[in-house]
Structure 1
Amino acid sequence: MLKTLLSQVKEYKLPSILTPLCMLGEVICEMIIPVLMARIVDIGIYGQNMDYIFKTGGMMIVIAILGLLAGLGGAYYGSKASTGFAKNLRKAMFDNIQTFSFSNIDKFSTSGLVTRLTTDVTNIQNAYMMTLRMAMRAPSSMIVALVMSFIISPRLASIYFIAVLFLSVIIVFVMNRASKYFKEVFEKYDALNESVQENVSAIRVVKAYVREDYENDKFKKAARNIYNMFVKAEMNVVYMSPLMTGTVYACILLISWFGAHMIVGGELSTGNLMSLLTYCMNILMSLMFLAVIFVMLTMASASGKRIAEVIDEKADLTNPENPVAQVKDGSISFENVDFAYDRTSDEPVLKNINLEIKSGETIGIIGGTGSAKSSLVNLISRLYDVTKGTVKVGDVDVREYDMETLRDQVSVVLQKNVLFSGTILDNLRWGNKDATEEECKRACQMACADEFIERMPDGYNTVIEQGGTNVSGGQRQRLCIARALLKKPKILILDDSTSAVDTATDARIRKAFAEEIPGTTKLIIAQRISSVQNCDRIIVMDDGQVNGFGTHEELLKTNDIYREVYESQTGASGDADFDRPSA
């Protein structure tokens, strides 16, 4: 974990080195001042030597200024190093997330990734700054103060030493008890973020079903869980403060008592006693800082493990050593393909799939919910890898292609249509960042999106709100189809992408495809027979297997599932549905 995290310090190594050096300089200045103060008392005041007092006082002012400058330098470089480190951690996680396959993404919840990119990184940032500044300052201050105390009076310094050992044992014991709670609390943060994200993204549904009170209770429960975990952790940590305070006052009383006797006996000067009391405060304050550092490091350790999990996660899908950089055509073949989302599963989602699709064909795919239609097409653009068998595009195994090349030529309009914040043109150019406005308009005409875009006040410069909430479901689908067409792919996959479009518009879109992109292989997943009956051939999926493959007329004669659904949807007979077994 540490190796993964520290590898992201990168260009902030110099500030990370300068910060502890500045803090060390500040400590040295602070440790010199009590010595000079003792000399002022013993030599200047008792010796009534005003020149010595002014000279030594001037030295103290200069050293104090140097200490102040060192402290400011430590604060500046520490802030620069910690914020830069946090920036690199976020970038490393985000960059790696972009390489994830769908199976990698399935391992992490969206809310979990958000927590890691925000709360967890903030914890690491705070702990890193505290470590750079206080992890050098506190131990060095304590060690130097102990050494100086032993030089002045080994007998009195032994009091500090015993106190330090006692408090060190207490700190280790308390931190071990608190660490398990800090680890659990960040898992509770995931649940809280999930509650917020789900509520905000589905706020219209919440209001439509008048579920505000239920959502409020759900959020309060998640927030209460975090509160309870933090209380348990803090209840362990809180005992350190009175113990440390009691130890500090006990040390001061003992040093004052024994020191007074030693002054009377001539074994110690008044100035040295003042120095010892100052060092006492330095030592014990350093211990308190170390306790705070341990608390932050305990919290940061839990966060660090979660961040390292994301950075160290290796994409399941990678390019081969010498990838094929060109897709010859849009032909597709499945050869004895099995597929399971969980590699250890005994029951695959797709079983023994064998298909041959020619370049330029229009293929319809129908089947009941859960029949693995989407799983089938996801293998073509290598969003997942097959468990067994081979999927070929252009007579080449998809695993041999450069993935960017393959996905540029296999354009997919997924079931869940997503638009991004920005203008309509910005969204369309996700398909081709260099597309001209005329090319965008042409793609929209093919997708029958131009008719509603031109009615908007700003036309193609209309701003789409986050998630596309200011356009209807059908409009969103048509914009996503236009975006996919701008890639000018060799294979176009529409995964139930016209379900929110009326039948007349659906027919116009299919007609435009047939006339404008005849050379592109088109795979259309649909629930309506009318959306696929004019396709060159139709695949009927059932329970992860190909139940039938042929033209509309052939399937009516040979396939019971297809015939029953056709009769149901055209009103010929019966009340069959894809999700109901045939009679």
Structure 2
Amino acid sequence: MMKLFKFLKPYRIPIIVILVLTLLQSLSQLFLPALMANVVDKGIVNGDISYIVKIGGFMLLVAAGGVVFSILAGFYSSKVSMGFGKIIREKMFTHIENFSLQGFDKVGASSLITRTTNDIMQVQQVLTMMLKVLIMAPMMFIGGIFIAVATDAAMSLIIIAVVPIIVAAIIVVAKKGLPLFKALQKKLDRLNLVLREGLNGIRVIRSFNRTTHERNRFNEANLDFANTAIKVNKIMATLTPIMMFVLNFSIIAIIWFGSIRISNGNLQVGELMAFIQYAMQIMFSLIMSSMMLIMIPRASVSASRINEVLDTVSEAKDPVEDKHGRRLEGFVEFDHVTFSYPGAEEPVLSNISFSTKPGEVTAIVGGTGAGKSTLINLLPRFYDVDHGTITIDGIDTRDMSQSNLRNNISFAPQKSVLFSGTIADNIRYGKKMATDKEVRKAADVAQVSDFILETKNGFDSVIAQKGANVSGGQKQRLSIARALIRKASIYIFDDSFSALDFKTDAKLRASLQEETSDSTVFIVAQRISTVMDADQIIVLDHGEMAGVGTHQELMESCEIYQEIVSSQLSEEETA
């Protein structure tokens, strides 16, 4: 957890202010029992009303000062802890954005969400507690013992005797609680995963009438989390009764032995009352410390999970110096490329070699699981190759910064993703400063203008979260428009035409041909009619190249391509 405290540097001055305020608050609390003893022993015993009024008034001022110091310390503590959480969330989000897809696969989206929200909140709460307790608890403990010993050294042995009992109880409880806190956070990850899957897959769940199954699945994860939480809370709950029992027993012992010492003339009534107050302050300082120790184990687990994310190094690293920060032309070459997913027994792609240049359309076809999407995901470095090289304009993509590389690539993913906002906002996502004219042109080329103009507010119509209020084909065309608005050297369309009818598909490809005539275009498709006119077609089979060439060339030389074509087209269309 100490590793995260480096993010507190911007708050050094407020932290110093908090510590000073807390110190003053502690001093005021330590001073009050001594004043009360004087009021009793000198004012009340002697019947000196003026002394009582004078010291009593001073006590009110000291108490009021303590309240003001406490309020200000609480205010600044909250401000620092909230700012600290904000900084870590920003660091986490920025770092996660730079993850390769392998990094996402390794940690998991649900766990990343939990770590960015719940885990940071746990650390924030401990920081707030630490800023309040860090000075106060030691000050109250040491100051209380010092003044108690000065008041009556013999009776101070009672306090000294019970301190080890409290410390031992805190250590035992903390040792039993720490493993459970680790398990609790993992079970929270699991609960979030099940919840997220249930919400994202609600259409599939209802279509297969599996709501009862999912409800049981969620209840199982929820019960597992609840049982662990109850168990850890039971363990932690034992600490407060133990400490209160020890505290009350100590007070009884102090009153018992104090009364004997008063009878013997060794102690005054006011001093006994002050001694009881100091004993309570010492015990409460230990209780505050125990509260810290209850929170620290869980926060330390959360901190380690946060550090695990921040310490994760993306597999796709930028070069120390990017010497190629310029506009790329789009000459792409795959040279004996091999790639495997982490933990896979066999490579997804093996020995892939081909080249393409600006003005050419390269189509990639093959059966399900052949590696088509994986192949084009290597180009923008969503993953890095295991062996071989991918070059653009003769430059290895690993020698370019990811930012510069992706600035030259426009991508329409296999699963169309839209963001909440207007239609224009979603299209402009590809080019932030695009004019209204550019937005309309991209929509025209993507064959989506008719749909947009039919909506009530046109380009200002609101897209719901995840595009829930538009159809699959409309999503795909908006995704294509977003890709087209960025004038890129390389365009990638990963099965982006699958939800389109044949007529719209043909019109869209005709418009694309004109719009991307100076760029390198990659098209992944299942539909042969979409790729028949490509300059070269790459046929993948179980991650290997089964053929490369034009439609006519592959019809003569590639058996797998012939099978794909014959399964989709009639003999007249094939010819």
Quickly name the TM-score band, shorter chain normalised: over 0.9
In the TM superposition, residue 158 of structure 1 has moved relative to its aligned partner by 1.0
The answer to whether 1:205 aligns with 2:209 is no
In the TM superposition, residue 405 of structure 1 has moved relative to its aligned partner by 2.0
Paired residue type of 2:203: R
The match for 2:6 is: 7
The match for 1:386 is: 385
Q: Is the contact between residue 167 and residue 244 of structure 1 (CA under 8 Å) also seen in structure 2?
A: yes
Paired residue type of 1:294: L
Paired residue type of 1:40: V
- Cα distance in 2 for partners of 1:446, 1:345 equals 40
In the TM superposition, residue 502 of structure 1 has moved relative to its aligned partner by 0.8
The match for 1:459 is: 458
Q: What root-mean-square deviation, in Å, do the aligned CA atoms of Structure 1 and Structure 2 show?
A: 1.5
The answer to whether 1:566 aligns with 2:565 is yes
In the TM superposition, residue 12 of structure 1 has moved relative to its aligned partner by 2.0
In the TM superposition, residue 524 of structure 1 has moved relative to its aligned partner by 0.8
- Cα distance in 1 for partners of 2:473, 2:345 equals 39
- Cα distance in 1 for partners of 2:351, 2:17 equals 63
The match for 2:64 is: 65
The match for 1:253 is: 252
Q: Secondary structure at the match of 2:454?
A: coil
Q: Secondary structure at the match of 1:319?
A: coil
**TM-score of the aligned structures, taking structure 2 as reference length:** 0.97
Alignment of 1:23-42 (within 5 A): 23-42=22-41
Alignment of 1:396-415 (within 5 A): 396-415=395-414
Q: Is the contact between residue 362 and residue 523 of structure 1 (CA under 8 Å) also seen in structure 2?
A: yes
Measured against aligned partners, the alpha-carbon deviations of 1:505-526 in whole angstroms (never above 9, x if no partner) come to: 1111111122232111111111
Alignment of 1:182-581 (within 5 A): 182-323=181-322, 324-342=324-342, 347-572=346-571
Q: Is the contact between residue 171 and residue 240 of structure 1 (CA under 8 Å) also seen in structure 2?
A: yes
Q: Secondary structure at the match of 1:9?
A: helix
The answer to whether 1:103 aligns with 2:102 is yes
Paired residue type of 1:167: I
**TM-score of the aligned structures, taking structure 1 as reference length:** 0.95
Measured against aligned partners, the alpha-carbon deviations of 1:432-452 in whole angstroms (never above 9, x if no partner) come to: 111111111111111111121
In the TM superposition, residue 346 of structure 1 has moved relative to its aligned partner by 5.6
Q: Is the contact between residue 328 and residue 408 of structure 2 (CA under 8 Å) also seen in structure 1?
A: no
Paired residue type of 1:447: A
In the TM superposition, residue 135 of structure 1 has moved relative to its aligned partner by 2.9
Q: Is the contact between residue 184 and residue 225 of structure 2 (CA under 8 Å) also seen in structure 1?
A: yes
In the TM superposition, residue 532 of structure 1 has moved relative to its aligned partner by 0.7
Paired residue type of 1:557: E
Larger CA deviation: 197-206 vs 541-550: 197-206
The answer to whether 1:55 aligns with 2:57 is no
Paired residue type of 1:153: D
- Cα distance in 1 for partners of 2:103, 2:541 equals 27
Larger CA deviation: 517-526 vs 322-331: 322-331
- Cα distance in 1 for partners of 2:35, 2:380 equals 76
Q: Secondary structure at the match of 2:350?
A: strand
Alpha carbons of structure 1 residues 328 and 40: separation in structure 2 relative to 1, 3 Å = closer
In the TM superposition, residue 203 of structure 1 has moved relative to its aligned partner by 2.1
Number of residues paired by the alignment?
Answer: 571
Paired residue type of 2:330: G
In the TM superposition, residue 426 of structure 1 has moved relative to its aligned partner by 0.4
- Cα distance in 2 for partners of 1:515, 1:246 equals 84
- Cα distance in 1 for partners of 2:2, 2:105 equals 25
Q: Is the contact between residue 540 and residue 546 of structure 2 (CA under 8 Å) also seen in structure 1?
A: yes
In the TM superposition, residue 572 of structure 1 has moved relative to its aligned partner by 4.4
Q: Secondary structure at the match of 1:371?
A: coil
- Cα distance in 1 for partners of 2:409, 2:62 equals 70
The match for 1:145 is: 144
- Cα distance in 1 for partners of 2:129, 2:566 equals 72
In the TM superposition, residue 237 of structure 1 has moved relative to its aligned partner by 1.5
Larger CA deviation: 133-142 vs 157-166: 133-142
Measured against aligned partners, the alpha-carbon deviations of 1:99-156 in whole angstroms (never above 9, x if no partner) come to: 2222222222111111111111111111110111023212221211111100011111
In the TM superposition, residue 562 of structure 1 has moved relative to its aligned partner by 0.6
In the TM superposition, residue 349 of structure 1 has moved relative to its aligned partner by 1.6
Alpha carbons of structure 1 residues 570 and 345: separation in structure 2 relative to 1, 3 Å = closer
In the TM superposition, residue 372 of structure 1 has moved relative to its aligned partner by 0.9
Paired residue type of 2:416: N
- Cα distance in 1 for partners of 2:432, 2:501 equals 30
- Cα distance in 2 for partners of 1:86, 1:406 equals 33
Q: Is the contact between residue 45 and residue 53 of structure 1 (CA under 8 Å) also seen in structure 2?
A: yes
Measured against aligned partners, the alpha-carbon deviations of 1:323-344 in whole angstroms (never above 9, x if no partner) come to: 10124412211111111222x7
Give ranges in structure 1 of 5+ residues lacking alignment: 574-583
Larger CA deviation: 11-20 vs 108-117: 11-20
Q: Is the contact between residue 477 and residue 498 of structure 1 (CA under 8 Å) also seen in structure 2?
A: yes
Larger CA deviation: 185-194 vs 43-52: 43-52
Paired residue type of 2:186: E
- Cα distance in 1 for partners of 2:180, 2:377 equals 41
Instruction: Provide the identity percentage.
Output: 37
Q: Secondary structure at the match of 1:547?
A: strand
The match for 1:578 is: none
Q: Is the contact between residue 317 and residue 385 of structure 1 (CA under 8 Å) also seen in structure 2?
A: yes
Q: Is the contact between residue 494 and residue 525 of structure 2 (CA under 8 Å) also seen in structure 1?
A: yes
Measured against aligned partners, the alpha-carbon deviations of 1:448-469 in whole angstroms (never above 9, x if no partner) come to: 1112111111111111001001
Paired residue type of 2:329: D
Q: Is the contact between residue 380 and residue 393 of structure 1 (CA under 8 Å) also seen in structure 2?
A: no
Give ranges in structure 2 of 5+ residues lacking alignment: none
Q: Is the contact between residue 365 and residue 525 of structure 1 (CA under 8 Å) also seen in structure 2?
A: yes
- Cα distance in 2 for partners of 1:100, 1:246 equals 52
The match for 2:81 is: 82
- Cα distance in 2 for partners of 1:119, 1:486 equals 38
- Cα distance in 2 for partners of 1:130, 1:14 equals 18
Larger CA deviation: 24-33 vs 214-223: 214-223
Q: Is the contact between residue 336 and residue 388 of structure 2 (CA under 8 Å) also seen in structure 1?
A: yes
